[in-house]
Amino acid sequence: AYERGKAPALLVVAEGARYNPAGLARYFHRHRERLGFDLRVTTLGHVQRGGAPGAFDRLLATRLGAAATACLARGEHGVLIGMLNNAIAATPLAAVVAGKKPLDVSLLELAGVLAI
């Protein structure tokens, strides 16, 4: 697109890619005059959640990761690590896919109010 005269361009880098966003940003910053444009990095997960992870997010991720590691060390497989009744719990995947969570009508109504 850039070669066809389009100024904006979008580059998507998947997790696990050889060139991570930070490395690409450094490369583009070093070569911005030769390339003729700047690069801005946006982490989609941060945007979707409403911002960069805060202390709560980081601590929760650490605790969930530790619980997942402990399950693997005990030989537990086929479980989902998450919060259940305000505690970290391992739930068998069979129970996760078998259960249906009822729709919270108040949240549905709120979505209607907020959707403009």
∠ Cα 80 50 101 (to 5°): 35
Mean pLDDT of 55-76: 93
- The pLDDT of residue 106 is 92
Whether 79 and 92 have beta carbons less than 8 Å apart is answered as yes
Q: Dihedrals φ, ψ of 80, to 5°?
A: -105, 130
- Alpha-carbon Rg of the chain, whole angstroms? 21
**Taking all residues of the chain, what is their mean pLDDT, rounded to a whole number?**
82
Q: What is the pLDDT of residue 2?
A: 60
Under the banding of pLDDT at 50, 70 and 90, the label for residue 116 is very low
pTM, two decimals, is 0.50
pLDDT number for residue 9 = 63
